[in-house]
Structure 1
Amino acid sequence: MTMSPSITAGAEPRAEAEIDSTYKKITWRLIPFLAFLWLLAWIDRVNVGYVKLTMLDELKWSEAVYGMGAGIFFIGYFFFEIPSNLMLQKIGAKKTLMRITLGWGATCVAMAFAKTPEMFYVLRFIMGAFEAGFLPGVIVYLTYWYPSGRRAKVLSMITAASALSSVVGGPLAGNILNLMGNVGGLSSWQWVFLIEGTPTVLAGIFTYFYLTDHPKDAQWLSTREKQLVAAELERDHKAMGQREHGIFAALKDARLWLLVLVYFCIVAANATLNFYGPTLVKELGFTNPATIGWIMSGAFLLGAGAQIYNGSHSDRHREVRWHCAGAALTGVIGMLLVAFAQGGSPALVLTGLVIAVIGTSSAFPVFWQMPNRLLTGAAAAVGIALINSIANLAGFGSPFMLSAVKASTGSLTAGLYIIAAVELLAVLLILCFVPRNSQTTPKTA
């Protein structure tokens, strides 16, 4: 998994300026919209963490019901992610992303009418099944447009939306919970699902008309710009050297399974922060849902900025190993601080929570540069989906484990120590088993 040399190194200044200008145009066209879709995905995925503040009491559900419902989303992810990415290869990105967005948006709206645990479980599973393939599909989609030396930065702009989702979704959900109770005969938690799911449905329809599958099909690029992109991608493909194309051969590669385990550990920490962050803040004495939302939004705003910075820094220095491991280690330190300070200083808990969000969030965009240096073609589509689908089972396991720990001990402390140990394992695996990059020539995207 070595980095390719700068494909624009040695190019004439005029040609390099043309290339940079073309990629700025592509980035402004694609990345804000893809980030917006990912923002909606995360708002709809994690709003149960805020809805929990009132829904459980009203419906007389236990912590175990919530933990199962929050986590079963990722079971749907597991079963449908690889088929989704294979479908993308056949029908194209815009149709695939349209289907995914419409599906999870409609399911979010339907969540407003989940009045039994069984219905809650089914709809969370369906939402996971629909959303499966979105991020792996976007990662594959970016390989159609960007050479390897430009991907970490643009992917960080997209994945930062997962952190920004709490900046938007936290205060939004909190204020809906405060203001919309009994409006139209519906509970405030029902309005959270209705208000946050409807824009996703509309965005799904717009996706089909806005996205372009390949540069050669982009009417908004000139002939010259299309030629520049094609040449960049061809040079990058050659510079990357031999990569696995075959699906079954890729599945036999131990490095693929190493990446599955690394990502599993990072997802476990991220799911903890998203699904139990609001609970941790509430236990500090902040009872107003809007206040909890604003506190979480501040933490995730810092996390979004850290994601973009880490992805850009990784591209400039053409290094992924330390950028990913260092970010995850920062997350471990924050998680340990939260666990240590439980029942003590609220300031320490909040400080640890912010550090954990910053570190864990920053690991994501850099991590996803590693599979692209191992796989290409259909193997990349399946391999990336496999990594994401299996690793996201941690999103089921960590909320379920934390709910069980809280039910048996009355505290999340032991569970937080376990999650910190799991994320530390990701750091050790990266540093011990992921090869160092052979190329460190700086490249500015």
Structure 2
Amino acid sequence: MQLDIEQRTMRRISWRIVPFIMLLYFIAYLDRVNIGFAALTMKHDLGFTASILGMGAGIFFWGYFLFEVPSNIALHRFGARLWIARVMLTWGLISGAMAFVQGATSFYIMRFLLGAAEAGFFPGIILYLSYWFPARHRAGVTALFMAAAPISTALGSPISAALLDMHGFLGLVGWQWMFILEAIPALLLGVVVFFYMTDKPEQARWLKDDERAWLIQTMQKEQADKAAQAHHSVFAGLANPRVIALALIYFGTSAGLYTLGIWAPQIIKELGVSSITVGFLNAIPPIVSVLAMVLWSRHSDRTGERTWHVVLACCAAAIGLVVAAGASSIVGLIAALTLVNIGISCAKPPLWSMPTMFLSGAAAATGIATINSIGNLGGFAGPAMIGWVKDSTGSYQGGLYFVAGLLVLSAVLTLLLARSGPGQPQARPVAAH
């Protein structure tokens, strides 16, 4: 009976929540990295060097860094429904306004504001999932949510490339139309969020009474079981050394993710193919990585193991970047980028299952936001370094080696964290009920 109600409840919650948050993240990630495709023509129209492009793409994460923790505290206080709606409406407006940048200064300003507007979305959803899904289900659900990023690349790449061909329509160039049209879904979904999302299980009238009671009891018991060792205050979430360690680990994975998002189209373009071909080729690696991510995270949930699932994935991504740096053919480059995609995608769900195992309440809100805000500065370091190296050497090779090194460092830090003594964020297998 217990197993039956758990299965029923998890199935109902999953169908209600997961497809919707995947759609939200699909749009968020598309608006975050479509600059990689805009740059195929935008850099010529505005006279941008690789350094300007890399700096502008990466400065997004300084806005993220400064506003993410307060944004997640606000979400914990005001509820996900209201706050996620606010986040989506503001980032949609700013993403659309990217169409009207005139030069490097306005480019930097708008990218910074986009990061500030979007701050709180990703860690807010991670926190939101911890309200609804017991720990033993969380990595798998997180993987489905995060699968929206590679799916966004897979589907968004051909769309973004096609929108570049709207050059001259109503007096706007193709990259301007791309920013405007791809911002509209965020605005529409911001309204939908306000009416569709449910803040807490206690408010879930769409659950049956026994399902709602089981979920509330299960989540309360989980909170009580870790109460003796969990940290609850805002300061605990900011100051916990394991939070800082996880942020540094996430730094490397973010550098890898946004190196792909921003620079993969440019790197593929270097081999002499058309923009629309770039769009379709860039869609191949993330399609493969989605399946790998889901299977890898389910294995992590089933075994209760997190550390090696992060370590091996980071190492695979690092190897892929090294191979990509020396690739001279389309087949070799796409194969290498596929390995990078698989590694980065597989590392993130088990990594994000760690913080809510030792943090709860306000500490979870600030801890998750701290990991994401500091860690996402890797999204500045990776793209900015690659742009600088490209201008300095004429090649992407040195920048790709740099990002590969960051991923190796993430793997080493994960091992050190696992060996750091009692209470490390290492999941234990959970007995079946």
- Mark yes or no: TM-score above 0.5: yes
- Does residue 173 of structure 2 align to residue 187 of structure 1? yes
Is residue 97 from structure 1 mapped to residue 93 from structure 2 by the alignment?
no
Conservation of the 8 A alpha-carbon contact between 2:49 and 2:391? no
Deviation at 1:442, TM superposition (A): 6.7
Contact 2:297 2:350 in 1 (8 A): yes
- In structure 2, distance between residues paired with 1:174 and 1:110: 19
**Counterpart residue number, 1:431:** 415
Alignment partners' CA distance in 2, 1:202 and 1:441: 41
Kindly provide the CA deviation profile for residues 83-111 of structure 1, in whole angstroms up to 9, marking residues without a partner as x. 10010121100111001111111111111
Q: 1:221-236 alignment to 2 at 5 Å?
A: 221-236=207-222
Contact 1:78 1:389 in 2 (8 A): yes
- For 1:401, the aligned partner's letter is M
Please state how far the C-alpha of 1:189 moved relative to its aligned partner: 0.6
User: What residue is the counterpart of 1:141 in the other structure?
Assistant: 128
> Does the 8 Å contact 2:302/2:429 carry over to 1?
no
Would you say 1:153 and 2:140 are equivalent positions?
A: yes
Gaps of 5+ in 1: 1-13
Question: Paired residue for 2:72?
Answer: 85
Which residue in the other structure is 1:111 paired with? 98
Q: Counterpart in 1 of 2:352? A: 368
Q: Which residue of 2 aligns with 1:330?
A: 316
Q: Which residue of 1 aligns with 2:58?
A: 71
Cα pair distance change 1:54/1:151, threshold 3 Å: same
Partner of 2:257: 270
Structure 2: 5+ residue stretches without partners: none
Q: Give the partner amino acid of 1:389.
A: S
Alignment partner of 1:20 is 2:7: yes
* In structure 2, distance between residues paired with 1:39 and 1:347: 27
Deviations 1:336-360 (A, max 9, x none): 111233xx33322221111011111
Residues 233 and 363, structure 2, Cα contact 8 Å, conserved in 1: yes
Task: Look up the match of 1:406.
Answer: 390
* Root mean square deviation of aligned Cα: 1.5
| Residue aligning to 1:389 | 373
* C-alpha separation in 1, matches of 2:44 and 2:344: 31
Equivalences, count: 427
State the match for 2:399 in structure 1: 415
Aligned equivalent of 1:252:
239
Task: Give me the whole-angstrom Cα distance separating, in 1, the residues matched to 2:148 and 2:260.
Answer: 15
Distance 1:193 1:238 in 2: 47
Change (3 A) 1:229 1:441: closer
8 Å contact kept, 1:316–1:442: no
Contact 1:74-1:125 at 8 Å conserved across structures: yes
Asked if 1:319 corresponds to 2:308, the answer is: no
Distance 1:134 1:151 in 2: 18
1:443 is displaced (CA, Å) by 6.0
Please tell me the residue identity of whatever aligns with 1:228: W
> What is the identity, as a one-letter code, of the residue corresponding to 1:215?
P
Deviation at 1:441, TM superposition (A): 4.7
How many Å apart are 1:237 and its aligned residue?
A: 2.3
Q: Which segment is superposed worse, 70-79 or 309-318? A: 309-318
- What's the CA shift for 1:314? 1.1
Q: Does the C-alpha gap of structure 1 residues 333 and 443 become closer, same or farther in structure 2, counting only changes over 3 Å? A: farther
Give 1:234 shift: 2.2
* Residue 266 of structure 2: aligned partner: 279
**Counterpart of 1:305?**
291
Distance 1:213 1:438, change over 3 A: closer
- Secondary structure of the corresponding residue to residue 283 of structure 2: helix
Alpha-carbon distance in 1 for matches of 2:431, 2:324: 37
Q: Deviations over 1:276-321 (max 9, x none)?
A: 11111111222x2111111111111112222222221111111111
CA displacement 1:169-197 (0-9 Å, x = unmatched): 1000111112x111111101111011100
1:264 partner letter = F
Give the aligned residue type for 1:116: G
Contact 1:315 1:443 in 2 (8 A): no
Distance 1:249 1:216, change over 3 A: closer
CA distance in 2, matches of 1:223, 1:193: 45
Partner of 1:237: 223
